[in-house]
Chain A
Amino acid sequence: MEAAVSSLFAQKMEILEIVKMSLQVSGSATLLSALIGIPLGAWIGLSEFKGKRLLLRLVYTLMALPPVLAGLLVYLLLSRSGPLGFMELLFTPTAMIIAQCLLVTPIITGLVSAGIAAKEGLIFEHAISLGASKTQATWTIIKEARTGIIAGIMTGFGRAFAEVGAVMLVGGNIRHMTRVLTTSIVMETRQGNFEMGIALGIILLLLSFMVSSIVLSNAEEFSLK
């Protein structure tokens, strides 16, 4: 433990840079995924349409998408010979954000849809009976399903923050450019610097705990206004 702490202090600036990059990449990916996944999940949860079950099965399958496969798909898309190769995004933080979005969006969509569908009928009837229009009733359902929505966002963030396969493939773990906590842990372990690997792992867990705490304590205050 002592060795882990001392190796942390020795590379303080570089670690801060890695932490910042990790938060930036995973935070942006989660935010983008939430912007897509919350409305999409709400729509699936609230509507009845042909093919809904098939769509849900697809979403649930994608929730278990292996990070390496997501990374490979983005790699093929962004590589020089790929359809988006001209954008020269491979081995940049943007490529890492895209890969993580691919992993996180189905998680948020699936959990939001399940959270909303579980309460939809009951809340809708109560809201309409109390004089809500359909739009007001829908908004009430979304507010009441906030625990499911927050759980979706937090699970998505956790998935993005802790995954290594996709960011390694499309980011390349380039020092001062695309190195994040998980890729650093892999690198340190391969080099035999286990103390450093453990120290970075502890930082990762602590940061994850802090983000969850901040989000959950704010969520409690978000009540019917």
Chain B
Amino acid sequence: MNLFEISGLKKNFGDRTVLNINELTLQTSKIYAVLGPNGSGKTTLLRVLNLLLAPDSGRIKFMGGDIGISQADRLSVSRQMCMVFQRPFMFRSTVFNNVAYGLKLRRVAKPECERRVNEALDFVDMVDFAKHSATRLSGGETQRVALARALVLQPRVLLLDEPTANLDPGSVQHIEEIIRKYHQEYNTSVIIVTHNLFQAKRIADESILLINGEVVERAYTAEFFDHPRELRTRQFLDGTMVY
């Protein structure tokens, strides 16, 4: 089944077009890596998909239905996805309350909420931190809590915006393991924006290259890295692209 069907999508910031995607279809239960140089529109794409930004034109279908029609529709659609930001903001409370935030918004009963929060914290190895202040964690710990805060909601799709940027190799590996494990156990679709080509190779089923807001190439990850079709993909991968 198709997760997202994008057609004629455009997003401008002032005079500058940051997204210009003619056609892009993403399937459920896959991990997609979105690659590209700085300013290529990767984060904007995630924000548009997460309904944080409205496109200027074009159509987006989520699980077969058009999104962004009415406020009620938007809420029900946005509650099926969850985004983890590059620099996650922790609410000024405990780790437990941060992870429980989305469940409380959905009015999940207290015992169920506690069970799910503990399960999510266990999933990211942060159970011992439940009562700690969420604003006093290290970068890696903060990112794990941000992941738990998203995973606890059991979204259909997880949108990750450079979740391992600025983390040490150990933390990167830990976060990747969590993503892979969650994807395998819950069959959740994942769209990850990353600058780390090795990371894309390690975890993505398919890779997509965005340059100047346009999809240059989209292919199975092995094919994308070993036999890129487009000249610009080859230039991007071997670092010879001139921006």
Beta-carbon contact of B75 and A133 below 8 Å: yes
Shortest beta-carbon distance, A162 to chain B, in Å?
A: 30
Complex CA distance for A130 and B103, rounded to whole angstroms:
9
Q: Which residues does chain A contribute within 8 Å of B47, judged by CB atoms?
A: 125
Residue among B47, B71, B82, B92 with the highest chain A CB neighbour number at 10 A: B92
Beta-carbon contact of A131 and B105 below 8 Å: yes
Beta-carbon contact of B88 and A126 below 8 Å: yes
Beta-carbon contact of B97 and A224 below 8 Å: yes
Considering the complex, which residues of chain B in the window 64-106 have a beta carbon less than 8 Å from any beta carbon of chain A? Answer: 71, 75, 78-79, 82-83, 85, 88-89, 91-94, 97-98, 101-102, 105-106
Considering the complex, which residues of chain B in the window 223-243 have a beta carbon less than 8 Å from any beta carbon of chain A? Answer: none
Complex CA distance for A132 and B102, rounded to whole angstroms:
7
Shortest beta-carbon distance, B86 to chain A, in Å?
A: 12
Q: Which residue of B has the minimal Cβ distance to A123?
A: B89
Beta-carbon contact of A130 and B153 below 8 Å: yes
Considering the complex, which residues of chain A in the window 69-114 have a beta carbon less than 8 Å from any beta carbon of chain B? Answer: none
Shortest beta-carbon distance, B46 to chain A, in Å?
A: 10
Beta-carbon contact of B149 and A130 below 8 Å: yes
B50 at the interface (CB under 8 A from A): yes
B52 at the interface (CB under 8 A from A): yes
Q: Which residues does chain B contribute within 8 Å of A130, judged by CB atoms?
A: 82, 101-102, 105, 149-150, 153
Indicate which residue in A123, A128, A223 contacts B78 across the interface (CB closer than 8 Å).
Answer: A128
A129 at the interface (CB under 8 A from B): yes
Given contacts A223-B92, A223-B94, contact A129 B50 (CB under 8 A): yes
B21 at the interface (CB under 8 A from A): no
Given contacts A133-B75, A136-B105, contact A128 B52 (CB under 8 A): yes
A214 at the interface (CB under 8 A from B): no
Beta-carbon contact of A224 and B153 below 8 Å: no
Q: Which residues does chain B contribute within 8 Å of A128, judged by CB atoms?
A: 50-52, 78
Complex CA distance for A23 and B92, rounded to whole angstroms:
32
Beta-carbon contact of A126 and B85 below 8 Å: yes
A144 at the interface (CB under 8 A from B): yes
Shortest beta-carbon distance, A55 to chain B, in Å?
A: 26
A54 at the interface (CB under 8 A from B): no
Q: Which residues does chain B contribute within 8 Å of A131, judged by CB atoms?
A: 75, 78-79, 82, 102, 105-106, 153
Shortest beta-carbon distance, B120 to chain A, in Å?
A: 13
Shortest beta-carbon distance, B231 to chain A, in Å?
A: 36
| Contact code string A29-55 (vs B, CB < 8 Å = 1, else 0) | 000000000000000000000000000
A140 at the interface (CB under 8 A from B): yes
A13 at the interface (CB under 8 A from B): no
Q: Which residues does chain B contribute within 8 Å of A132, judged by CB atoms?
A: 105
Residue among A123, A130, A133 with the highest chain B CB neighbour number at 10 A: A130
Shortest beta-carbon distance, B50 to chain A, in Å?
A: 6
Q: Which residue of A has the minimal Cβ distance to B94?
A: A223
A1 at the interface (CB under 8 A from B): no
Complex CA distance for A128 and B83, rounded to whole angstroms:
10
Beta-carbon contact of A129 and B89 below 8 Å: no
Q: Which residues does chain A contribute within 8 Å of B150, judged by CB atoms?
A: 130
Shortest beta-carbon distance, A147 to chain B, in Å?
A: 8
Shortest beta-carbon distance, B13 to chain A, in Å?
A: 15
Beta-carbon contact of B93 and A224 below 8 Å: yes
Considering the complex, which residues of chain B in the window 89-141 have a beta carbon less than 8 Å from any beta carbon of chain A? Answer: 89, 91-94, 97-98, 101-102, 105-106
Q: List 10 A-B contacts (CB under 8 A).
A: A123-B91, A126-B85, A128-B51, A128-B52, A129-B52, A130-B102, A131-B79, A140-B91, A224-B98, A224-B101
Residues of A within 8 A of B (CB): 122-123, 125-134, 136, 140, 143-144, 146, 223-224
Those 9 A-B pairs whose CB atoms lie nearest each other, nearest first: A224-B93, A130-B102, A131-B79, A129-B83, A223-B93, A224-B97, A126-B89, A131-B102, A122-B89
Known: A130-B105, A223-B92, A223-B93. 20 other contacts (CB 8 A): A122-B89, A123-B89, A123-B91, A126-B85, A126-B89, A128-B52, A130-B101, A130-B153, A131-B75, A131-B78, A131-B82, A131-B106, A133-B75, A134-B71, A223-B94, A224-B91, A224-B92, A224-B93, A224-B98, A224-B101
